[in-house]
Amino acid sequence: TLLEGREAEDARAYVKERGLSPESIEAFGIGYAPGYPDFLLRRLVKSLSAELLVEAGLALKDQEGNVRDRFRRRITFPVHDLSGKAVGIGARILPGGREDGPKYLNSPETPVYRKAEVIYNLQRAKASATRSGEVFLVEGYTDVIAMVRAGVTNTVATCGTALGEGHFRLASRFAQRMVLAFDSDDAGARAAERAFEFVERFPVQPVVLILPEGLDPADFVDQHGGETLREL
């Protein structure tokens, strides 16, 4: 739908503006959920029950018992477990659509998606993290994609949840050093501070990457490249 659907013209313009190439879209499985309330439902209820789709976090049921798509008018980023199976979705609203809810809407906790035990892109990054002994942790999906595009392939994110014990446990399986590359704002500083609660419990050393004021990792690598980020 994102690459070819007639409903996705605005979405294609947005991802192009954000520098997401067709190759990145393909590699990361990025999609688009149109604004219709039953775009996905109509395609899936032929083989899956509405109850199962609600349990999986793909649909919502209102007080009257009506079922509709959870994700609408949003860019979708599939979230995978370590074995590469898609277990959840993160979805960003298109600019101008804030009346439809928060900027980012993520799958809820489900029987297969436990947010505290999943790190976005770790299934791809684990090989380079193991080789280098280092993993870069950023806040968002687009930060990961920009970093990978710039050659920093050992980059992951926490899918919009607070950095916690489960994330440290996972990361320590593949790396000895965790570079916290959060946005240069108060929220990013608080998130980095929280990491040091776990420093004595897991064999991975957190270090904080200080980015120039006002830049997030995606902005920085777009302007300066991956090697400059590694030097910093």
Distance of CA 109 to the CA centre of its chain: 15
- pTM (2 decimals)? 0.90
Question: Shortest CA distance to 187 belongs to which of 132, 123, 140, 117?
Answer: 140
Question: Shortest CA distance to 167 belongs to which of 144, 142, 198, 141?
Answer: 198
Give the single-character DSSP code of 94.
P
Burial class for 11, CB neighbours closer than 10 Å (0-12, 13-18, 19+):
buried
The arithmetic mean of pLDDT across residues 86-104, rounded, is 84
pLDDT in tens, 9-27: 999 999 998 888 999 999 9
HSE, side-chain direction, 13 A CA sphere, residue 87 = 22
The reported pLDDT for the residue numbered 184 is 65
The arithmetic mean of pLDDT across residues 59-71, rounded, is 93
Given a contact cutoff of 8 angstroms between Cβ atoms, the answer to whether 125 and 154 are in contact is yes
Could you tell me if residue 202 is left (phi over 0), alpha (psi between -120 and 50 degrees) or otherwise beta? beta
pLDDT in tens, 176-225: 999 998 876 676 677 777 777 777 788 888 898 988 877 889 889 999 99
Quote the tokens at residue 101. 């809810």
Question: Shortest CA distance to 71 belongs to which of 84, 53, 85?
Answer: 53
What is the distance between the alpha carbons of residues 199 and 172, in angstroms, rounded to a whole number? 11
Q: Looking at 6-10, 85-89, 95-99, 221-225, which range is the least confident one?
A: 95-99
Given a contact cutoff of 8 angstroms between Cβ atoms, the answer to whether 77 and 89 are in contact is yes
Q: How confident is the model at residue 121 (pLDDT cuts 50, 70, 90)?
A: very high
| Max CA pair span of the chain | 56
What is the distance between the alpha carbons of residues 232 and 229, in angstroms, rounded to a whole number? 5
Q: What are phi and psi of 37, to 5 degrees?
A: -70, -15
